[in-house]
Amino acid sequence: MAKSIKDLREEKGYRSAREFAEALGIAASSMSRYDRDPETIPMKHAIAMADLLECSVDEIVGRTPVTSGRNELQEFYDGLLPETRALMDEFIEFARAKDEKARRQRQDEQDRKYDDLCRYYQRMFYETAYEGTRFGELVAFSTPKEERSAFESFLSEQAAAKRKPGIDLHCEGLEEELRDGYLDADGTEKHWSEDEIQSMLADERSRMDEEYGKKDEEVIARVMQAFDRQHRVTIEYSTIRL
């Protein structure tokens, strides 16, 4: 299955359509349109995108991905003499063991990072929970499951609040571009109605919130894994205890 422009640009470190549009020197609204319908991309823009993303124009417009060179290693291995292949097998086992050790170390580092994040957000969570209470009053949850659910909701609210300023700024720039109007096929200047502008802004806001929200959900999931490690939460489903 061919990758989307969004997939291709994210692999190269472009976090948003607007950031990639700026690198190309085109309007963010144009980039949003190309994301939705790659076959409408003008050839000069498709070539510029392919150069930036180090891929083919076919991949930019959603055709089959490049597959050349996929079997070169297998062909090399198959061509070895049996005794040389045995040496290769030993090296592969050695490399696999080294790789597994490195992956475990990397996973441990990631776990420590999210353990620290979890402790930070838990402090914020409990501080928020105590706002408005009387001095000496204890805030308690009826079950560990309820506390876990409340903390997860708090993380979602924090993530949404962090996303909003960036989305607002992007939509302000997009609104200016939309209010400037556009040229139709015969070169006549046209302007969208207020309802059309607001509808396009709402669509763009929703798209960006969904796009960044998915990344935030991944972070929240990792923080909640850290929460479970730290609290050893027992969750009950019917009569089954996990």
42-59 residue pLDDT tens: 878 888 888 888 888 878
The per-residue b/e assignment along 101-127, b for 16 or more CB within 10 angstroms, e otherwise, is eeeeeeeeeeeeebbeebeebbeebee
pLDDT at 162 over 70: yes
Number of domains composing the chain: 2
Q: Mean pLDDT across the stretch 71-99?
A: 84
The whole-angstrom separation of Cα 3 and Cα 238 is: 42
Residue 211 domain-assigned (yes or no): yes
Within a domain: residue 116?
Answer: no
pLDDT value, residue 242: 43
Q: Which of 60, 88, 103 is the last residue of a domain?
A: 60
Supply the range of the domain harboring residue 36: 5-60
| Helix, coil or strand: residue 189 | strand
| pLDDT recorded at residue 72 | 75
pLDDT digits (tens, 9 = 90+) for 92-109: 889 889 999 999 999 999
Instruction: Evaluate if pTM is beyond 0.95.
Output: no
Helices (H), the chain: 5-11, 17-24, 28-36, 43-53, 57-60, 72-78, 82-130, 144-179, 194-231
| Residue 169 included in any domain | yes
pLDDT in tens, 198-237: 999 999 999 999 999 999 999 999 999 999 999 874 444 4
Asked whether residue 37 is domain-assigned, the answer is yes
Which residue has tokens 């980039």? 31
Asked if residue 179 is part of any domain, the answer here is yes
Mean pLDDT across the chain, nearest whole number?
Answer: 85
